Amino acid sequence: MCTVIGTRSSFISEQDLTKALEATTSRGPDDMRIMKHNAGILGFQRLAIMGLTPEGMQPFALNGALAVCNGEIYGFRSLKNQLQEKGYVFQSDSDCEILLPLFEEYGTDMFGMLDAEYACILLTAGGDILAARDPFGIRPLYYGYAADGQPVFASEPKNLTGLTDRIMPFPPGHYYADGEFHCYRDLTAVSDYLPDDVDAAAAGIRDRLVEGVRKRLDADAPLGYLLSGGLDSSLVCAIGQKLSDKPIRTFAIGMDTDAIDLKYARQAADWIGSDHREIIMTKQDVLEALDPVIRTLATYDITTIRASIGMYLICRAIRETTDVRVLLTGEISDELFGYKYTDFAPDAEAFQQEACKRVRELHMYDVLRADRCISVHSMEARVPFGDLDFADYVMHLDPAIKMNVYGKGKYLLRRAFMGTEYLPQDLLMREKAAFSDAVGHSMADDLHQLAEETYTDEEFEQRRQKYTHARPFTKESLLYREIFEKYYPGQSQMVTDFWMPNRDWEGCQVNDPSARYLSNYGASGQ
């Protein structure tokens, strides 16, 4: 990961940006640079992944324009060759160096051309400021307005604290230009469905997911994989191993008492032949991580925080004990293929609309978790299920064949790899436990207990009333909100609300986001 920051505001100095970047040194520990422009200023912290030489350091400059980008641009070499044929000369092997030449050639149309996970800021030769973010929001970007009304953009909320009164997430799939946000790609804008039946859909899913993993293996720094033992991460690891000529490095985490997924992760690792390592966490580890995790995430959301504790701790262990700098993860599968609660969708159109909602909000939840937990430990996240071609294909499949009408959740994804050697049938068909439960039911129980010990019933009712937006509704949610407010006072609007199942659907009237409270959870957590 890297950090980007930029503004045209005359109220913000180089010293201000230097201070703002101090909060995210771990995102880009390799180097830092701030450059003034005739009408603005850009800053960059580097984690070197592609083009490891000093020439790959940003900001990049071209004909009076500057650019910074936190991202991976897949297939950049073909674009680079096309630009070289037009006479452009490149100084590095960095994928992001192509952005300014692309902008010279295509203007803002270039954003729709990128097959990438990215967030970028540009200052043009004419003094305009532009910014853009990938369609899923896999790479973070936030904005606010300085005292003179000029926008200021940065990778994380903590970069903007003190520079603006109100911090907001930059909308995914948009670019900012001429003082306005413009949507260049909306993955949820689906007007017609493909005619593919179950067999054709399974083949299309398999081919595109394999290609999505293949793209993400291109790195000049060592790769690793997070392996929970569930369907999504196991498939990413299995595909990665098929594409590798040596054992890949996989990592799993669980509580010291009742971790469900460690045994399944070990089975998957044994099957694919990976170099596997287990990390064990204790109750003390969990409770000590709570405060730094919330500060790292900049959220108060219950399920995001629960699931982040294990991810934060495993990433810390990987960083401290290995040379891995890129981690492939299994996020974004549930949004596309369904959660446990979407089994209760009343019809196909409701299922599709729920998928659209989850995709639009994803940048505030699961991909936020993946980015922060990995980047705070100076590594980069890559998300194959977020491959644009793959996701666009799945979103255009008829929701009637994506719904759970098979007695097995995410059946299409499972079907895509049936009869192959990627995973054994028992792992391929096992129901996934909720991540915060799978690392150990006792972890969530320990957090519940901490919240109960923190507030009496009267204190809970009194203290939650002061929040008008996303009001806490359990003692646990109040505990998280109060820690959040300690670091980001008055900034709760950065997250729309608590992530919860669709409580308008029969069967989803629960008061906790964990799937284990749903009536259809069954043997998922065993």
pLDDT for 27-45, tens place per residue? 999 999 999 988 899 999 9
391 assigned to some structural domain: yes
Q: How high is the pLDDT of residue 435?
A: 53
Beta strands in 60-138 (DSSP E): 60-62, 65-73, 116-123, 129-133
- State whether 130 and 12 are in the same domain: yes
Q: Amino acid identity, residue 161?
A: T
pLDDT at 516 over 90: no
- Name residue, tokens 């204790």: 282
The CATH number covering residue 356 comes to 3.40.50.620
Residue among 218, 235, 280 nearest 253 (CA): 280
**Which of 183, 218, 241 is at the close of a domain?**
183
**Which of 438, 473, 495 is at the close of a domain?**
438
Beta strands in 274-337 (DSSP E): 275-281, 326-328
Task: List Cβ neighbours of 281 (8 Å cut-off, separation of 6 or more).
Answer: 253, 254, 255, 256, 309, 310, 313, 439, 440, 443
- State whether 235 and 316 are in the same domain: yes
pLDDT at 199 over 80: yes
- State whether 66 and 130 are in the same domain: yes
d(CA 5, CA 522): 47
Rounded to an integer, the average pLDDT of 306-321 is 96
Q: How far is CA 123 from the centre of its chain?
A: 26
451 assigned to some structural domain: no
Least confident range of 112-116, 142-146, 276-280, 432-436: 432-436
- State whether 84 and 227 are in the same domain: no
Calculated CA dihedral for residues 478, 482, 485, 487, nearest 10 degrees: -130
Number of domains in the chain: 2
Q: How high is the pLDDT of residue 438?
A: 46
- State whether 211 and 359 are in the same domain: yes
69 as an active site residue: the answer is: no
d(CA 139, CA 153): 13
pTM, entire model:
0.96
Rounded to an integer, the average pLDDT of 357-376 is 97
According to DSSP H, which parts of 325-418 are helical?
333-337, 348-361, 366-375, 388-395, 399-402, 411-416
Rounded to an integer, the average pLDDT of 206-217 is 97
Rounded to an integer, the average pLDDT of 271-300 is 97
- Catalytic choice (2, 69, 120, 315): 2
CB burial of residue 207 (10 Å; 0-12, 13-18, 19+): middle
Residue among 49, 40, 45, 56 nearest 19 (CA): 45
- State whether 178 and 204 are in the same domain: no
Is pLDDT larger for residue 273 or for residue 514?
Answer: 273
- State whether 202 and 168 are in the same domain: no
Three-class DSSP labels, 92-138 = CCCHHHHHHHHHHHHHHHHHHHCCEEEEEEEECCCCCEEEEECCCCC
Enter the tokens of residue 285: 């580890």
User: 123 lies in which domain range?
Assistant: 3-183
- State whether 206 and 251 are in the same domain: yes
Confidence of residue 253 (pLDDT cuts 50, 70, 90): very high
Percent helix / strand / coil, the chain, rounded to 5: 45, 15, 40
Confidence of residue 120 (pLDDT cuts 50, 70, 90): very high
Q: Residue 359 in 3-state DSSP?
A: helix
Per mean pLDDT, which of 167-181, 254-268, 433-447 is the most reliable? 167-181
CB burial of residue 128 (10 Å; 0-12, 13-18, 19+): middle
Quick: pLDDT tens for 184-194: 999 999 999 99
Enter the tokens of residue 471: 């009001």
Quick: pLDDT tens for 427-482: 999 876 655 554 656 788 899 999 999 999 999 999 999 999 999 999 999 999 99
